[in-house]
Every structure is written in structure tokens, then in C-alpha cells.
Amino acid sequence: MDKTPPTMPRQSWTFSNEVNAEIRRAAATGIYDIRGGGAKRRVPHFDDLLFLGASVSRYPLEGYRETCGTKVTLGTRFAKKPIELDIPITIAGMSFGSLSGPAKEALGRGATLAGTSTTTGDGGMTEEERGHSEKLVYQYLPSRYGMNPDDLRRADAIEVVVGQGAKPGGGGMLLGQKITERVAGMRDLPVGIDQRSACRHPDWTGPDDLEIKILELREITGWEKPIYVKVGGSRPYYDTALAVKAGADVVVLDGMQGGTAATQDVFIEHVGQPTLACIRPAVQALQDLGMHREVQLIVSGGIRTGADVAKALALGADAVSIGTAALIALGDNDPKYEAEYNAMNTTAGAYDDWHEGRDPAGITTQDPDLMARLDPVEGGRRLRNYLSVLTLECQTLARACGHNHVHNLEPEDLCALTMEAAAMAQVPLAGTNWYPGKPGF
Amino acid sequence: MSTIDMAQTPLRQVNETLQAQALAGANAEYTLDNPRGAHAVAVGLNGPLSVRVNGSTGYYCGGMNKEATITVTGSAGPGVAENMMSGTVVIEGDASQYAGATGHGGLLVIKGNASSRCGISMKGIDIVVHGNIGHMSAFMAQKGNLVVLGDAGDALGDSLYEARLFVRGSVKSLGADCIEKEMRPEHLTLLADLLAKAGADAKPEEFRRYGSARKLYNFNIDHAGEY
């Protein structure tokens, strides 16, 4: 009998079970993995920042008595009719097609109850969404699916989408499973085929062209609508500066944790920068141009709590936008559907095959039976509640720092827990007065 | 007939006037003098109106047009009649890139040549080009008809969906998933109608038809090498 102590089986860090499973999946199918959502890898984020709070040098505001404003006005630069929001949190663009009609209605209802805006997405404007959204931003995308001047005029703002955080430089693909007659009709394509959303606009390239495109959109809509330009978080300083140069009223900056309906996993995880790393360069660009607060900055990508909202505002954003969190508020990835997630070889919280159209929560689907599971009225109420909590949390933190408006939050209110976060947010590492790259050190 | 001198009138005022007149639906006639390559001329017209532009225009002339008839006596810059919904736009000279891009309906006639990406992502518009068209024309074209009396450049109809392409001259190369297709009687009838509307002196029988092979409609790894 061999008495040699056995070697402990050792898993490779490089070839982990997760990595090996993906290799086997790729070998079996010959197709890269497509999924929804944003980057799942751990990246420096708002969790790595802390508020300092009031002290001897600063006094706080009374939490339940003293006012802390949350209103925000977007589009003050050129638009005749800027958008006035009660809260600094908006709903990001998500397409009808990737989302069901009831889901779009629920987003509109929730946003309206909370006094904020929602955004269309690829695939055009639906009656569900326009009818239930007091303030609706109409996305102008490379595919131009469903684009028409009538909807452009009945929008409250126009968002020219250059890129998104999940896939800067990439287009999209709505797979045939979700292309019902209604979705296909809105996109002028046959039922059941994969629908490619192009990665760049068909009739302009570069910032000089973009300036003319914005001119055209303003001329068509009588210079009434705020024009947003949405960019993915890749080169935030230059993209922001060029968007301003092109005439944007608002810049929407989406970091790599921002979600998508369907994109290659390799794209989501390996292209773009974390949201935290994008904000300061964008704000710097606005400041260098003398446009901070005149051109508003909306930040998105991984906003989950009022703390995230407050930290983004403290770093210089005027508002934030939520997508994934809004879907979770509606019921996406709810553990009550665990058995159904298990049947699809996944689990609640990890379900991301939104493109397959089998969402048990009835949100990322066009299946009539699944869609019927989402009550848009109840969904809207849940979203309103969630937006209210985000706002209350943000106010709580702002008051603790002594501010009577959430826009008065500033980088000096923050410190960082890690060197990486300190470098990205350009706020001192906790316990020091230093951050990597700080001038003078 | 009313005339607006664009050398004396700001663009905003020009478009505001035309948009109001189009909306009034009175079939009024306007002439624009001295466009001098201005961008976004006569955009967003939403009703019956006749506009004659004496000269050449910059980007996006006639953008998102509905019902109006716009004639440019010179040449047109990039994106002429982009996203047109209905109506007619006629360019008597040449057209730059992206002519008729994403157009949903109506008729775009280019009496000269059109540059690259003519009819890109078209969604139902009819485009008739009396001369030649440049490379990558009808890229990802979804619906509608592109008729070319002259030659077509490289990669015609790349990643085409259901749009129909008719070319009388040579085609330098076809793009991914674009193939020549049989010209059936209904296509000859359609072509004859489009040629007549565009005032083009050509016979339908002289054209070849191109369309989608539909191999790329659903992702298949075995077809990944085609693009």
C-alpha cells in the first residue's frame, strides 16, 4: 500500500473552470459567446470611494428638515425647450425589440412618476413609451430603425448615439428569435432574421460632419430640442471635447459596466474603460472649454445606489442614467424565477442571455406569454420607488457633506480606498493628501 | 412663385418659411437663390410644396422630406434626401456620398453621378441615378429600389437585405451576400415605371438585377469568411 501523501489537486488560475468551460463551449459551437448586460469583471468603481462627511471645518445640513435640491435642467446651451427633471437620475436608452412593450411602458410610467425622463433605444419609438413618458429622449442611432421626422418632433430631446460603454466601436445584433412581426415592421426588415445595428452612422463620419448633422436635426425640429451626444467610455476627454465642439447640449458618457441587449462577451469585457475612470477626464474637457455646467454631463454604467449617484455628481456629472438597475427594479433576474433560470443552466443574478428572448421575468422578450408576466403599472410603481430611494440616499449624503443641492457635491468631499480609484477619480487616497498623478508630488 | 435669396436670408428663416408653407398644404412654389453650398437646406418639409434651389447645396439637402418636391439645379453634398419619407428630390448635377441614406420612401433622382455609399441602409426609398455610383453603394440596404443607368463601383449591395438593385452598366464588384438575380416580368414593369418617373431614357431590358443571397440573414459560423 502506497503511503505517499497525495498531491492536492490544484486548479489553474489561468485555466480556471470558467475559462475551460468557455473553451469547450467555443470548440463545440464555433461561435463566440453573445450575451446581454455590461462588464462583469471587477473594476475600480464607486465602491472604492468614500464621502468624508462634515467636520469642524464644514457643517452638515439637518437630514429631515433642511432642503437639499435635486432638480436638474438639461439642454441649456442651445435648445429653446430644455428638459427640467425633478431628480438627477434618468432612464437610459433601451430598445423596443430587446425589451418588451410592457417593459417600455413600465419604464415610462416609473420615470414619469419620479419626474424624470426615459429614452427610446434602437428600433424606434413605441406608443407605449411615448404615451407613458412625460419626458422622452429619442435616440438617433446608426441603424436609424424606425427613424422618422414625426417622432423626432414629438420627442423632448434627441440623443445622437455615437457609442455605448458596453461596446465602444461596436454595433449590435438583435437575433432572429426576438424579431416578431411588430419588431420587424418597425425596422423595415423581414421577420425572424438577425438584425444588425451598424457600428457607425451611415451619413456622417467625424466631428466636423457631426456638427452638420446636429445642425440638420435642429433645423428639422426648430431648434427646440436639446441635442445629447452619447459616447462610450473610451477616450472621454477628447470625445467630450469633440461633442461640445460639434454643438452638443448634453454629453452622455457610458462606462464599460453599462449594459447592452446583446454583444460578444469578449467585446463587453475587453473594450472600454470603467465608468469611474471616465468622469474626471470628461469634466476636465468641459472645464478646459469653459463649458462645465453649460453643457451638461450625464454619466452611466454601473449606477446602483444613491451613493453611486452622489459620487458621480461629486466628480462633476450633472446627472446619471440607469439601465440595468432599472430592469432589476422591474423584476429582472428575480430569485422567484430560480427554477426557470436553472432550467436554462443559469441562476438568478447571472442570467444574461437576453438576446434569446426567454426571459422568465417577461422584460427582455417578445414572447406574448412571458411578456404578460410583467404588469406595467406595478413595474412603473416599483421603478418610481427605486428612483425615490436613489434620490433620498443621494440627498442624505449631500446633506452630510453640508450641501443644499446635490450639484454642490464636489471632489473635495471624497477620498479613495485604493490607489487605482484614487488615480482614476483624482481624489486623495484615504489617510493621505495624495493621489497618483497629482501635480507637485 | 416666391423667391428667397439665401445670400440675404439666414438658413433658419429659410427653413422656417418652407416648413410652415409645406405644413399649410397649399402646394406653394418657392425658389431659393444663392444657396452657395449651404447645409441642411429645405429639411424637414412636411407637406406638399415645390422648392427649386438654383445652385448647389451642402450636406443633407431635403433631409427627412415628406411629400414635398425639391429640385437642385446644381450638385448636392453628402446625405442628400437622407431618411426621406415621401415626396421627390431631383438633383440635376452630381450627388456626393450617402445620397438617399436610410430613406424610407419617396423618389430621389440624380441626373449626374452619385458618389460612394449611395442608398446606404435604404429602407424603402426609390433612387434613380442617371450616371454612375461609387463604391459600397446600397450597403445594408433594407427595402426599396436603386436604379443605376451607368456603372457601379466596388462592393455593390454589401450585406444587402431586401432592397432591389438594377444596374445597366458594369458592376466593378459585388459586396458580401449580394448576387445577380433573374429579371422577371414584374421587375421589368417596376423598372419601366421608375425610369419613366425619373425621366430616364433607358429600356428596362438593358438592366441586370441584383439582390441578397440571404446567406447572412442568420449568423452561421460557416459563412463568417464571406465578410
* Distance to chain A for B144, nearest Cα, Å: 10
The beta strand positions in B75-133, using DSSP E, are 88-91, 107-110, 123-129
Residue A70, chain B, CB below 8 Å: the answer is no
- Chain A residues inside the 8 Å CB shell of B46: 149-150
Domain hosting A414: range is 44-169+200-331+376-425
Q: Collapsing DSSP states into helix, strand and coil, what is residue A342?
A: helix
Residue A437, chain B, CB below 8 Å: the answer is no
pLDDT of residue A299: 98
Instruction: Give tens-digit pLDDT for B166-211.
Output: 999 999 999 999 999 999 999 999 999 999 999 999 999 999 999 9
Question: Do the Cβ atoms of B42 and B51 come closer than 8 Å?
Answer: yes
pLDDT of residue A51: 98
Q: Nearest to residue A164, comparing CAs of A258, A274, A282?
A: A258
How many Å is the maximal CA-CA distance in chain A? Answer: 90
pLDDT of residue A215: 98
Task: Please indicate whether, in this complex, the C-beta atoms of B78 and A209 are within 8 angstroms of each other.
Answer: yes
- Chain B residues inside the 8 Å CB shell of A194: 217-219
pLDDT of residue A114: 98
Residue B57, chain A, CB below 8 Å: the answer is no
* Distance to chain B for A202, nearest Cα, Å: 6
Domain hosting B51: range is 2-226
Q: Which of B12, B43, B217 sits opposite A194 (nearest CB)?
A: B217
pLDDT of residue A53: 95
Instruction: Give the up-direction half-sphere exposure of residue B171: CA atoms within 13 A in the CB hemisphere.
Output: 23
Residue B16, chain A, CB below 8 Å: the answer is yes
Chain A, 6 to 45: residues with Cβ < 8 Å from chain B are 29-31
**Domain of A294: which CATH number?**
3.20.20.70
Q: Nearest to residue A129, comparing CAs of A143, A147, A146, A109?
A: A109
Number of CB atoms found within 10 A of residue A110's CB: 28
pLDDT of residue A198: 87
- pLDDT over 70 (residue B6): yes
pLDDT of residue A281: 98
Per-residue pLDDT of chain A in tens (441 residues, 90 and over written 9) = 678 888 999 999 999 999 999 999 999 998 889 999 999 999 999 999 999 999 898 899 998 889 999 999 999 999 999 999 999 999 999 988 889 999 999 999 999 999 999 999 988 899 888 999 999 999 999 999 999 999 999 999 999 999 999 999 888 777 777 788 888 888 888 888 888 888 999 999 999 999 999 999 999 999 999 999 999 999 999 999 999 999 999 999 999 999 999 899 999 999 999 999 999 999 999 999 999 999 999 999 999 999 999 999 999 999 999 999 999 999 999 999 999 999 999 999 999 999 899 999 999 999 999 999 999 999 999 999 999 999 999 999 999 999 999 999 999 999 999 999 999 999 999 999 999 999 887
**Lookup result for grid cell 415605371:** B193
Q: Nearest to residue A265, comparing CAs of A25, A39, A26, A28?
A: A39
**Lookup result for grid cell 398644404:** B25
pLDDT of residue B7: 98
Task: Please indicate whether, in this complex, the C-beta atoms of B101 and A203 are within 8 angstroms of each other.
Answer: yes
pTM of structure: 0.96
Residue A204, chain B, CB below 8 Å: the answer is yes
Dihedrals phi, psi of B191, to nearest 5 degrees: -65, -45
In A16-100, which residue ranges form alpha helices assigned H by DSSP? 17-29
Higher pLDDT, A96 or B127: B127
Amino acid, res. A83: I
**Distance between CA atoms of A138 and B6, rounded to whole angstroms?**
31
Q: Does residue A165 lie in a domain region?
A: yes
Residue A189, chain B, CB below 8 Å: the answer is yes
Number of CB atoms found within 10 A of residue A18's CB: 7
Task: Please indicate whether, in this complex, the C-beta atoms of A149 and B78 are within 8 angstroms of each other.
Answer: no
Task: Please indicate whether, in this complex, the C-beta atoms of A188 and B143 are within 8 angstroms of each other.
Answer: yes
- Chain B residues inside the 8 Å CB shell of A209: 59, 78
- pLDDT over 70 (residue B35): yes
Residue B81, chain A, CB below 8 Å: the answer is no
> What's the Cα-to-Cα distance from A134 to each of A66, A108, A118, A378, rounded to whole Å?
29, 8, 9, 18
The residue among B64, B66, B222 with the most chain A CBs within 10 A of its CB, best to mutate, is B64
* Distance to chain B for A172, nearest Cα, Å: 13
The residue among B41, B82, B216, B220 with the most chain A CBs within 10 A of its CB, best to mutate, is B82
pLDDT of residue A308: 98
3-state helix, strand, coil in chain A (%, to 5): 40, 15, 45
- pLDDT over 80 (residue B220): no
**Lookup result for grid cell 457609442:** A163
Q: How many domains does chain B have?
A: 1
In A, minimum Cα distance to B220 occurs at A31
Q: Does residue A162 lie in a domain region?
A: yes
Question: Do the Cβ atoms of A414 and A400 come closer than 8 Å?
Answer: no
pLDDT of residue B224: 66
Q: How many domains does chain A have?
A: 1
Task: Please indicate whether, in this complex, the C-beta atoms of B44 and A193 are within 8 angstroms of each other.
Answer: no
How many Å is the maximal CA-CA distance in chain B? Answer: 60
- Chain B residues inside the 8 Å CB shell of A188: 104, 123-124, 142-143
pLDDT of residue B45: 98
**Distance between CA atoms of A24 and A424, rounded to whole angstroms?**
37
Q: Is the dihedral of CA A88, A89, A90, A93 positive or negative?
A: positive
**Domain of B107: which CATH number?**
2.160.20.60
Calculate the CA dihedral of residues A18, A24, A25, A31 and round it to 10 degrees.
120
In A, minimum Cα distance to B121 occurs at A202
Residue A208, chain B, CB below 8 Å: the answer is no
